[in-house]
Amino acid sequence: MPAQNLDWKNLSFQYLPTDGYVGCDFADGKWGPLQVKQDPHIPMHIAANCLHYGQAIFEGLKAFTTKDGRVVLFRPDRNADRLANSARRLAMEAPPLELFLEACRKAVAHNRSFVPPYGTGASMYLRPLVIGTEPTIGIKPSSTYSFIVMVTPVGPYYKDGFKPVDALVMEEYDRAAPKGTGQAKMAGNYAASLLPGLEAKKKGYPIVLFSDPKENKYVDEFGTSNFLGITAAGEYKTPDSPSILQSITNESLQVLAADMGLRVVRAPIALDALEQFAEVGACGTAAVITPVYSVTRGARKLTFGRPDQAGETLTRLYKALQGIQYGEIPDTHGWLAPV
Ligand code: PLP
Ligand code: COI
């Protein structure tokens, strides 16, 4: 569909075709030139490592049209850094910072008409990925890789946007192992979360809260986002765990929370201690901040605030973050990168 026919205000979080993507390949120990490509299908060897042994990592970041009409990326350098960490954990190659940034800028610039206009509440989602492409049957890292940055315009991840959702603690399944790959943004972690996600949805819960895989005693994170809780004493608490993804949204919110005078605490959070929170939220690029109204664990359901409306502190944080992203509030931390 041409961009001018899109209903910007009612986009959901799903793939929509655009004018193309940007990609480049790694072979003989070096990255080749970036290319803009139209055909969204890629030819691949049937024995490619990513298909059999899971050398597949990705990132998620957004581009926004600001109030004064600029197109900006939110903290893309942090995504480049995390992609490099994921690559290290999976013995893969990652594009160097400048190549990553150039690919993101190019992918957005090439699809300029698909960047949602200011005031629609929508944004452009960038999905950089790296896959091992060498045919491998014996287990070993691929020696060739493809780096792709695809983009698509998106609305809210949960259909009601900034409205509270109900979460279910899934102790029957772990999404990552104690010394495993939870800190890497790799495809396999998401494959492991699909069945628990389906089972939770069937029971009426749109979002799964995973506990720590070692003892099932502490909060780890949601399937697609980090956990944050606000106490009545003015604390912003978020789990310190080796098996969760280091969320760039969470990192940014911690800075904004401190700016607002909240005390930021990064420490293990016991599932038995959730009563301490006046507000609970799920945070991430796609989720932004999604308020969590309830957390159900077995027969016990705890609630936080009101079912129909986010709490006061999460609302302030949400407005502060989105205000910066849409250029409504000065970007005092230097988080916006021009395209
Ligand atoms: N945790 C998981 C499992 C995620 O998939 C995401 C999304 O990227 C996050 C947390 C949030 O990370 P970020 O804020 O960098 O998007
Ligand atoms: C993101 O928020 O960028 C994610 O990757 C979460 C989800 C869409 C997988």
Q: What is the pLDDT of residue 171?
A: 86
Residue nearest to atom 7 of ligand 2 (CA): 224
* 286 in contact with ligand 2, CB cutoff 6 A: yes
> How confident is the model over 207-247, as pLDDT tens digits?
999 999 999 999 999 999 999 999 999 999 999 999 999 99
Contact 200, 168 (CB under 8 A): yes
Q: What is the pLDDT of residues 294-323, one digit of tens each?
A: 999 999 999 999 999 999 999 999 999 999
Give the pLDDT score at 159.
Answer: 77
- Residue 97, pLDDT > 80, answer yes
* Most ligand 1 atoms within 8 A of CB, residue of 170, 227, 249, 253 to mutate: 249
pLDDT at 141: 98
Q: Which of 73, 193, 251, 285 to mutate to test the pocket of ligand 2 (most atoms within 8 A of CB)?
A: 285
Alpha-carbon separation of residue 275 from 267, 279, 280, 281 (angstroms) = 16, 10, 10, 14
SS (H, E, C) the chain: CCHHHCCHHHCCCCCCCCCCEEEEEEECCEECCCEEECCCCCCCCCCEHHHHCCCEEECCEEEEECCCCCEEEECHHHHHHHHHHHHHHCCCCCCCHHHHHHHHHHHHHHCHHHCCCCCCCCEEEEEEEEEECCECCCCCCCCCEEEEEEEEEECCCCCCCCCCEEEEEECCCCCCCCCCCCCCCEHHHHHHHHHHHHHHHHCCCCEEEEECCCCCCEEEEECCEEEEEEECCCEEEECCCCCCCCCHHHHHHHHHHHHCCCEEEECCCEHHHHHHEEEEEEEECCCEEEEEEEEEECCEEEECCECCECCHHHHHHHHHHHHHHCCCCCCCCCCEEEC
- Testing ligand 1's pocket by substitution, the residue of 224, 228, 246 carrying the most ligand atoms inside 8 A of its CB is 224
Nearest CA to ligand 2 atom 9: 224
- What's the pLDDT band for 162 if we cut at 50, 70, 90? confident
For residue 1, pLDDT beyond 90: no
Average per-residue pLDDT for the chain: 96
Give pLDDT, residue 71.
Answer: 98
Q: How far is the CA of 137 from the centre of ligand 1 (A)?
A: 32
For residue range 252-283, what is the model confidence (pLDDT) as tens digits? 999 999 999 999 999 999 999 999 999 999 99
Which atom of ligand 1 is the closest one to the Cα of 175?
Answer: 3
Could you tell me the distance, in angstroms and rounded to a whole number, from the CA of residue 190 to the centre of ligand 2?
10
- Residue 249 tokens read as 């949204």
